[in-house]
Amino acid sequence: MRLRTQGAVLAVLGVLSTQAHANDDVLKQTADPKQWAKQEGDYANTRYSKLDQINTTNVGDLKVAWQFSTGVLRGHEGSPLVIGSTMYIHTPFPNNVFALNLDDENKIIWKYSPKQDPSVIAVMCCDTVNRGVAYADGRIFLYQSDTTVVALDAKTGKEVWKAKNGDPKIGETGTMAPIVVKDKVIVGISGAEFGIQGHVTAYDAATGKRAWRGYNVGPDDQILFDPEKTLSLGKPVGKNSSIKTWTGDQWKIGGGSVWGWFSYDPDLNLVYYGTANPSTWNPAQRAGPDGKQIDQKWTMSLVARNVDNGVAAWAYQMTPFDEWDYDGVNENILAEHEINGKKHKTLVHFDRNGFGYTLDRTNGELLVAKPYDPDLNWSTGVEMDKSKPNYGRPTVVASKSTFLNGPDVNSKNICPAALGFKDQQPAAYSPLTDLYYVPINNVCMDYEPFKVSYTPGQPYVGATLSMFPPEGKSNTGHVIAWDAAKGEIVFSHDELFSVWSGVLTTAGGFFCHGTLEGYLKCRDQKDGKELFKHRLPSGIIGNVFTYEHKGKQFLGVYSGVGGWAGIGLAAGLDKPTDGLGAVGNYAGLKQYTDLGGSLTVYSLP
Amino acid sequence: MRLRTQGAVLAVLGVLSTQAHANDDVLKQTADPKQWAKQEGDYANTRYSKLDQINTTNVGDLKVAWQFSTGVLRGHEGSPLVIGSTMYIHTPFPNNVFALNLDDENKIIWKYSPKQDPSVIAVMCCDTVNRGVAYADGRIFLYQSDTTVVALDAKTGKEVWKAKNGDPKIGETGTMAPIVVKDKVIVGISGAEFGIQGHVTAYDAATGKRAWRGYNVGPDDQILFDPEKTLSLGKPVGKNSSIKTWTGDQWKIGGGSVWGWFSYDPDLNLVYYGTANPSTWNPAQRAGPDGKQIDQKWTMSLVARNVDNGVAAWAYQMTPFDEWDYDGVNENILAEHEINGKKHKTLVHFDRNGFGYTLDRTNGELLVAKPYDPDLNWSTGVEMDKSKPNYGRPTVVASKSTFLNGPDVNSKNICPAALGFKDQQPAAYSPLTDLYYVPINNVCMDYEPFKVSYTPGQPYVGATLSMFPPEGKSNTGHVIAWDAAKGEIVFSHDELFSVWSGVLTTAGGFFCHGTLEGYLKCRDQKDGKELFKHRLPSGIIGNVFTYEHKGKQFLGVYSGVGGWAGIGLAAGLDKPTDGLGAVGNYAGLKQYTDLGGSLTVYSLP
């Protein structure tokens, strides 16, 4: 696909089409609060359910209704889907999928067990996780570790089509949940720790034929950016907006992978996602031709793309020239907020770099950028003055710059750590309070970059990290409520470990999240007061979900410790200092929990 | 050890010693109903708890209090132990042991992870199960798959001593729970499907030094049978009681392994256990020198041994010349019953062969032998007339004799199947009703023996089996209540699958058991009425246990499908006809559950 062949398509950019936007079936399924039809709850990624049978007055009475062991030990991210009376359960590698009959003892209607070369495990940076399947039009879409995208008949589990999206031999893997928009299934790619060239790809949902692919780094015809029409901070990006921010051909192994959650605005016909870090983690190797910082666009960015052709409407780079692995993949939650007296269609994003961003999602205008954790210390703030040359950019504290300090120097006590104050574990929005409920990693780090050579399929990291709680603290987590219009923390509650579980909000007035040591907790949306707490078989890195069946509301979550936070346990690393999961108090996790994937579903007595 | 050196020891056989019998600490710990200090509940194997906070009126209100994932996928037999505020949890291979602090969020105080050569898995016939640890005098005793017996400091998990009990290279493995009696730790050996020579061995609990070993087949000095004093059916066994019932040296690979539950009578100073099948399963290869049936003693037998020296007080062979794999290892439950007007110290045993036996445990006198499942069809009954030459023997129905039918002939529709109407999953006794509550495999089989050669460490089975529910039935399980004085079924309730979970009885008037599809069920001891039913993450082959902590009664069980019943799932066998676990409706198990080991603990709200 070349841009010059796309004039006609580009011309419609930004023009609202009169035809039905979105996938009607996804809209229909997610509109029914009895179902959990999408990993994110809805296209807006609110993770808010209108069900209110369980509410603040009775959530404390929840009891375990039933459970299901997945037969897989390692980290369980994402959640099941519920469509009608069928629940779809997925697992980490080997990415089995179960369809359970909620009408008949939750019996297994079918089990899909893909055959994958287990060598892919070696190129999965942060445990063998998978963030779940997508549903639309009678099909289940699975994105396997080995990057195979599979469409299954939702009734029978039979394969309808398969497409190979990437190549594990160069470190490309699949971990994210696909999203179905209109007639397309869209997936990203994992592997920025292996020097891949990150991309987003749309497949025809009916046939599996590739519709378009947009890279996040590279020439304009690869990144599908229109120099004139694609905006950034209110201005057209211009020609070669990516490659001119790289030295030589480094963009070819430049990272910018995509493995978080997609959101979609049907009215704007745009999908939103974040891009990951540039490769390597050693910034000195990525310096500009002049030896200075250079942006490495469009890594660490939010990107809005037209669903039909993949062309970018706008992009915003949170962390130019990353020096900390502040990967920008976190979810974007779509709502509306009044800011400075004007109502905006907003996009709210809690970046790994510690800033909570509110943008106008129609054009990428930056509205708010404030730390969502007061321990942030690598930057003094994001420049909000449009007249300044560094408008929209974080001002870096020199002593926390791993680039200025140089390779083989251990830059001390940088907050947040590479994990970010939040990673992929999704926050949720509640219209009841107009607040966002955010699971936090309260973690800082020492970061020592070093020179690394690129070898296809080998780790291309180039930094040694040590992670720990902020000075004077022993816990590494909390949950907060966030006012995205003001950029303010409304309340914050400490957790012993980083909260690596996605949040659910409901019309019952509470929100729920898991904890790494294995508690499911539900709290009052008003003040975060703990209303329910229950210990599950293993630590929780899955996302809380809810559904109604035969008139009864259920609420559930996967347990199964792992992921980046639990990689020490998941991969059997003996020393807390081993591997990327080396986080101070996480070593204590093994006092609380061991591996094992299960779904637990609660209901009122 | 040679018999001729033991005259002095033998002289005390049958004489009650005046010194303390039993291990005082085991007696003390098991006397406290707040603890679950022994896999079997007590030395008598009653599995009865005096706790009554949970009772027939409120057991229906039980809710999941907490859970613990063991990090191991395959079949979880046995149960945890609770000593004071510490819970000891074990796993199948690799036989990890966890000590959990019930006073502090059930945190892991220590985890013991033995290093074992995984090649042992290949010689474990029926999944990589382990039936649990034993506790005494501040030590945890673990019997590993590779036959290593380990004593751990219960406070720290540090190894105190290790002893190697057998050799996996010839098919010897460890699966049973050790028993501590007096100053000794006693273990058997698994491997009758590999042609081992079965034995029971006592180790000094303080040092790990071997005290004695009694084989179950072989010369008198190996089996520790006293020709004059060891009784069987009221008579001395005489010289060479074992080897004279074998052709040539076949006893050397003759099976008779020991892997069930031991019981112990402190007053009689005797331990009781059952011995497994002779090797091979092809009876033609084991025929006598005259080509006829020959007993193959002391396989398929109950044996009572003196704890101090291992010498047998008495033995009783349930199934001479086994033709069906009616392995005799099932537990022996000690109580007292009045039979024919006379009170006896009894031993009740539900044999794989389908007969429920009541013996006088002081001398092995046979009191009752009746089918505990009406579908039994391989025998017309056990001869109870002492004057008859076949006294104490089952009368075999010729058409069900796989020996008379001959090798390479498929003997049809034999009930029970090789699994037995009950396997190792232990029954429980309640003094409230004077009844036994028995988990049943309601399974029949076709059995085709064939010639097999003995190669050390290779399967020495020699039969192809097909197992299925009795004619006209679709379920393969039930639970019954049994009157052991009369030899009568008091009530019976069907279960979809064989009940492969050990039963608990309590002073609360109910009994509980798990099911293969994953339900924990509690029933009224009076009539078996279901009072509580709850679905666990995976199928249950563990044993229900109970304890009290901080004034609250808890009730728990392992889930984690596997074992012989679940070997198809556990070992990933594709076809229901693959392997020894080939049982008709078990193929349907995969509709209900998948692998994964967890402990679930319930309490009242």
**CB pair distance less than 8 Å for B596 and A71:** yes
What's residue A212's pLDDT? 98
Rounded CA-CA distance A312/A308 in Å is 11
Only one residue has tokens 């007007």, namely: B341
Q: pLDDT tens-digit profile of B550-560? A: 999 999 999 99
Q: Does A67 touch chain B (CB under 8 A)?
A: yes
Give A18's contacts (C-beta < 8 A, 6+ positions apart).
Answer: none
Q: Does B155 touch chain A (CB under 8 A)?
A: no
pLDDT band at B585 (very low <50, low <70, confident <90, very high): confident
Q: pLDDT tens-digit profile of A86-140? A: 999 999 999 999 999 999 999 999 999 999 999 999 999 889 999 999 999 999 9
B373 carries an active-site annotation = no
pLDDT band at B581 (very low <50, low <70, confident <90, very high): low
Q: B68: nearest CA in chain A?
A: A537
pLDDT band at B20 (very low <50, low <70, confident <90, very high): low
Tokens representing residue A268 in the block: 């704007």
Position B602: which residue type?
Y
Give B517's contacts in chain A (Cβ within 8 Å). 105
Q: B594: nearest CA in chain A?
A: A71
Q: Does A534 touch chain B (CB under 8 A)?
A: yes
Rounded CA-CA distance B432/B324 in Å is 36
What's residue A174's pLDDT? 98
Give B594's contacts in chain A (Cβ within 8 Å). 68-71, 98, 108, 111
pLDDT band at B2 (very low <50, low <70, confident <90, very high): very low
pLDDT band at A580 (very low <50, low <70, confident <90, very high): low
Lowest mean pLDDT among A492-506, B564-578, B590-604: B564-578
Taking a C-beta distance cutoff of 8 angstroms, is the pair A411, A444 a contact? Answer: no
What's residue B574's pLDDT? 56
**CB pair distance less than 8 Å for B67 and A111:** no
Average pLDDT of the residues in B32-42? 98
Half-sphere exposure of B385 (CA within 13 A, CB side): 6
Distance from the Cα of residue A231 to its chain's centroid: 23
Phi-psi label, residue A321: left if phi above 0, alpha if psi -120 to 50, beta otherwise:
left
**CB pair distance less than 8 Å for A538 and B593:** no
Q: pLDDT tens-digit profile of A27-41? A: 999 999 999 999 999
What's residue B584's pLDDT? 65
Secondary structure of residue B539 in the 3-state scheme? coil
Average pLDDT of the residues in A142-163? 98
* Partner residue opposite B592 with nearest CB, options A108, A559, A592: A108
Q: pLDDT tens-digit profile of A364-375? A: 999 999 999 999
Beta bridge partners of B203: B185, B210
* Partner residue opposite B591 with nearest CB, options A107, A538, A591: A107
* Partner residue opposite A596 with nearest CB, options B70, B107, B593: B70
What's residue A585's pLDDT? 74
Rounded CA-CA distance B334/B45 in Å is 7
Give B596's contacts in chain A (Cβ within 8 Å). 69-71, 73, 596-598
Average pLDDT of the residues in A552-559? 98
Give A589's contacts in chain B (Cβ within 8 Å). none
pLDDT band at A574 (very low <50, low <70, confident <90, very high): low
Rounded CA-CA distance B245/B247 in Å is 7
Q: Does B69 touch chain A (CB under 8 A)?
A: yes
Taking a C-beta distance cutoff of 8 angstroms, is the pair A511, A522 a contact? Answer: yes
Tokens representing residue B177 in the block: 């729970």
- Å from B48 to nearest chain A CA? 27
Distance from the Cα of residue A213 to its chain's centroid: 19
Q: A322, A325, A327, A373: which is the annotated catalytic residue?
A: A325
What's residue A15's pLDDT? 39
Taking a C-beta distance cutoff of 8 angstroms, is the pair A352, A330 a contact? Answer: yes
Taking a C-beta distance cutoff of 8 angstroms, is the pair B202, B306 a contact? Answer: no
Report whether pLDDT(B579) > 80. no
Average pLDDT, chain B: 94
Give the alpha-carbon dihedral of B28, B31, B36, B42, to 10 degrees: 100
Average pLDDT of the residues in B502-507? 98
Q: B570: nearest CA in chain A?
A: A71
- Å from B568 to nearest chain A CA? 14
**CB pair distance less than 8 Å for B594 and A68:** yes
Q: Does A73 touch chain B (CB under 8 A)?
A: yes
Q: B105: nearest CA in chain A?
A: A592
Lowest mean pLDDT among A533-537, A564-568, B434-438: A564-568
Report whether pLDDT(A13) > 60. no
What's residue B114's pLDDT? 97
Lowest mean pLDDT among B184-193, B292-301, B466-475, B572-581: B572-581
Give A71's contacts in chain B (Cβ within 8 Å). 73, 538, 594-596
Report whether pLDDT(B183) > 60. yes
Give B107's contacts in chain A (Cβ within 8 Å). 591-592
pLDDT band at B24 (very low <50, low <70, confident <90, very high): very high
Q: B71: nearest CA in chain A?
A: A595
Q: pLDDT tens-digit profile of A46-76? A: 999 999 999 999 999 999 999 999 999 999 9
**CB pair distance less than 8 Å for B559 and A69:** yes
What's residue A395's pLDDT? 98
What's residue A125's pLDDT? 86
Average pLDDT of the residues in A373-395? 98
**CB pair distance less than 8 Å for A596 and B71:** yes
Q: pLDDT tens-digit profile of A215-238? A: 999 999 999 999 999 999 999 999
Q: pLDDT tens-digit profile of A90-101? A: 999 999 999 999
pLDDT band at B294 (very low <50, low <70, confident <90, very high): very high
Backbone angles phi, psi at B118, to 5 degrees: -65, -10
Q: Does B366 touch chain A (CB under 8 A)?
A: no
- Pairs of CB atoms within 8 A across A/B: 101
pLDDT band at A22 (very low <50, low <70, confident <90, very high): confident
Helix (H) or strand (E) holding B420: none
Report whether pLDDT(B575) > 80. no
Helix (H) or strand (E) holding B7: helix B7-11
**CB pair distance less than 8 Å for A594 and B71:** yes
Q: Does A58 touch chain B (CB under 8 A)?
A: no
Average pLDDT, chain A: 94
What's residue B161's pLDDT? 98
A 161-200 residues inside an 8 A Cβ radius of B = none
Give B600's contacts in chain A (Cβ within 8 Å). 537
Q: B220, B325, B373, B483: which is the annotated catalytic residue?
A: B325
ipTM of the complex: 0.92
pLDDT band at B488 (very low <50, low <70, confident <90, very high): very high
DSSP string, B17-86: PSSPPS-HHHHHHHH-TT-B-STTSSTT---EE---SS-TTTGGG-EEEEEEE-S--S---S--EEETTE
Report whether pLDDT(A9) > 60. no
Q: A61: nearest CA in chain B?
A: B605
Report whether pLDDT(A5) > 50. no
Q: Does A533 touch chain B (CB under 8 A)?
A: no
Q: pLDDT tens-digit profile of A153-177? A: 999 999 999 999 999 999 999 999 9
**CB pair distance less than 8 Å for B98 and A594:** yes
Give A108's contacts in chain B (Cβ within 8 Å). 590-594
**CB pair distance less than 8 Å for A71 and B559:** no
Phi-psi label, residue B170: left if phi above 0, alpha if psi -120 to 50, beta otherwise:
alpha
What's residue A75's pLDDT? 96
Report whether pLDDT(B466) > 80. yes
pLDDT band at A20 (very low <50, low <70, confident <90, very high): low
pTM: 0.94
Lowest mean pLDDT among A2-11, A275-284, A372-381, B78-87: A2-11
Q: Does A94 touch chain B (CB under 8 A)?
A: no
Lowest mean pLDDT among A55-69, A332-346, A491-505, B19-33: B19-33
**CB pair distance less than 8 Å for B537 and A63:** no
Q: Does A412 touch chain B (CB under 8 A)?
A: no
Q: Does A105 touch chain B (CB under 8 A)?
A: yes
- Å from B507 to nearest chain A CA? 26
Report whether pLDDT(B18) > 80. no
pLDDT band at A23 (very low <50, low <70, confident <90, very high): very high
